[in-house]
Structure 1
Amino acid sequence: MGKPIPFSIEVRGSPVSERRVHKTTVITGETIMLESDFFEVSDEFINLANDLGDEWAQPMLSASIMHAAARFNAFHLMSQNDTGDINTAIDFLTTQYKQMLIENLRELRSDQPDMLNHS
């Protein structure tokens, strides 16, 4: 069992970069979320963004998604009633975002190499 990380979330199993290969269990409070559940929820947000893409430009959607994630995570952090260092939570979230962005760019480049070469 690993060391708990901010927001009372503990990741058991492989690191972020290996999530697609190995099963990972995320525990949030009393709820256990399997990797498949994690990606199902994530896909719901992507599907919503794709639907909104029919009416809104991608740069605006991207900025809106980041703003919504920041707003939700700020609310989540404050609702934890944790007196811990907020900078630790911010460092955790920004590190996780960077790792996920890098992982997704690698995946897009390997799955769809032509997609990133078009202007």
Structure 2
Amino acid sequence: MSTYVILKHLHMTAAYLTITLFMLRLLLDLVGRPGWRQTPLRWIPHANDTVLLVAAISLLFAGGWNPLEQSWLMAKILLLLGYIAAGLFALKVTISSPVRVAAAALALLQVSFIFYLAMSKPVLF
């Protein structure tokens, strides 16, 4: 198996795990179980996101892609920044529930677009 294929599968697995962990933490907050913040569930997503980022950067080099030349890739990066910001608001306990729900919906919408771009790689502009 080529390095590129291994990196791609690592990146995809980490991406799916990231979303799963985000939704799990949202669900635990929704059902009134904020105790997850004192468990490894507080730091495991950060470790996984580090793997995700390293795999993504490695894929850039292995695939020879330049985000400035690939519009779908630049869009993914911008959506990722939006997902991070929305995710921070969605999981922050000091923010009101309606804002947290809206932020969670926005984060999941952005990640849906990220997955779409990753699978279709359309020319955007």
Please report the TM-score for the alignment, with normalisation by the length of structure 1. Answer: 0.34
Q: Which has the larger strand fraction? A: 1
Q: Which has the larger helix fraction? A: 2
Please report the TM-score for the alignment, with normalisation by the length of structure 2. Answer: 0.32
